[in-house]
Amino acid sequence: MTRPELKRLFRTTAVRTSLWYASLYILLAGAALGAYHWATSRYVDAQLYAGLHDEFVDLRNTEAAQGFAALRREVVARSRGGGPDGRYYLLTDAQGRKVAGNLARWPRERDDQVTLDETVHPAWIDDDMYPNVGDEDEYWPAIGKRFADGSILLLTRSVAQADEMQLFSIYALSGLLVIIVLLALAMGVFMGRTILARIDNITATSETIIRGDLSRRVPLSGRGDEFDELSGRLNNMLDRIEQLMQGMRDVTDNVAHDLRRPLARLRNRLDVVLLGERHGDEYRRVIEESIRDTEELMRSFNAILQIAQAEAGTLRVKMQPVDLTAIAAQGVEFYLPLAQQRGQDLSLRATARATVHGNSDLLAQALGNLLENAIKYSPRGTQVQVRVEADATGARIRVSDQGPGIPAADRERVLQRFTRLDQARSSPGNGLGLSLVNAIAGLHQAHLTFGDNRPGLVVTMVFPGGERATV
């Protein structure tokens, strides 16, 4: 790993957090080491003191029961072999002369004196007081007693084994501390490299997208962790951005293609009028035609703006409970004169009162576009029906006619902007009606479905979670 990579790695949150944890581990382990050393020292001292006291009681009882000679024999026996388990004995007569034991002498006057009170106390033991054991002066636990005849018994024990055990525990805990620190650092480096690799994937994808390739997506690891969740949300966002960008390109292309003709027609008409002197009626006719073309252009631009806002989710409308049956009744009442004028039968059938959460004006506009298309493309003497349904799965508003219908292969395409089928080319319109209906449906979390009315077309707007009540 290069130096810049190491610097970048140690700037990551994972490695820095691991270093903080390693420091915390050092402090905690150091505190634990000190507490363990103190506790074991106290325990070992207590065991040494208890062992010495028990042995002293045994020797004292021997002297009390069998006399000084028996005590001397017991001390000689126990002292044989250089002090078993590190125990040392000294038995003197009333004049202070050594009688038995493996201690060379009594502690000097200048050293700490052993209190002959039959309790264990630390005593300073010189290295010349015990043979073949060590070469260091130190404190040993000791216990002594002066008997009635003036003789003195002293017991002490080496702390070398206890010191070795405590040193071993210190070394073991220190080694464990080192292992913990190394593992924490290794885990931090591993986590840092893993996180950096995931972030680098996101960064590489974003750089590719910045260069213009909107088809790239952040790869998923399949673990289902927070990075996969973040990547999934980013991919959904990129899908939405790509969809909006594609829609923008489509709108630009369609505007350039479909609005060029009315603009050119308007320009040519005005140029022809300006070529020579005209009568007032002719000027009036040209102005009225130009106004109609301008209004058609304005309707197209307004529809494009509404579609774009609805698809982008930026259309600010008030959402509230809306009665679909009431909207359907108003729509049928409004378009009934037009249907009657064309010799058609327009009717409403509501099997239930359906309530959805939405905007009544936009839903009325969507239904109006569907009714206008149904009436426009249906021949005389046919029926156009609006049907409102609701059940546990949701609410539906359905418009059916007996016109030419839409082939199954074209039902997805007619939802695109400025799409007009061959049979609709001769009728006025801009090909934005169904696109606007689809955008309004999407704004209400609904979707459009197309069906065959045999003959004719059935367009259904399906709302999930609609409420149902008997009419």
Predicted pLDDT of residue 116? 82
Predicted pLDDT of residue 315? 59
3-state secondary structure string, 174-230? HHHHHHHHHHHHHHHHHHHHHHHHHHHHHHHHHHHHHCCCCCCCCCCCCCCCHHHHH
Give the tens place of pLDDT for each residue, 384-397: 999 998 888 888 89
Token code pair at residue 180: 């913990």
Predicted pLDDT of residue 458? 92
Residue among 93, 104, 100, 105 nearest 147 (CA):
93
Strand 394-400 relative to strand 121-125, pairing: unpaired
Predicted pLDDT of residue 470? 36
- Tell me if 356 sits within 8 A of 395, measured CB to CB: yes
Strand 447-452 relative to strand 152-157, pairing: unpaired
Predicted pLDDT of residue 44? 80
User: Phi and psi (nearest 5°) for 245?
Assistant: -65, -40
Give the tens place of pLDDT for each residue, 348-403: 988 777 888 888 888 888 898 899 888 988 888 899 999 998 888 888 899 999 88
- Tell me if 384 sits within 8 A of 374, measured CB to CB: yes
CATH code of 320-469, in short, is: 3.30.565.10
Residue among 393, 401, 399, 310 nearest 354 (CA):
393
Say whether pLDDT at 427 is over 60. no
Say whether pLDDT at 195 is over 70. yes
Give the tens place of pLDDT for each residue, 411-423: 777 776 656 554 5
Angstrom distance (rounded) from CA 448 to CA 57: 102
Angstrom distance (rounded) from CA 422 to CA 300: 20
Is the pTM for the entire model greater than 0.85? no
**Backbone CA torsion sign across 275, 280, 285, 291:** positive
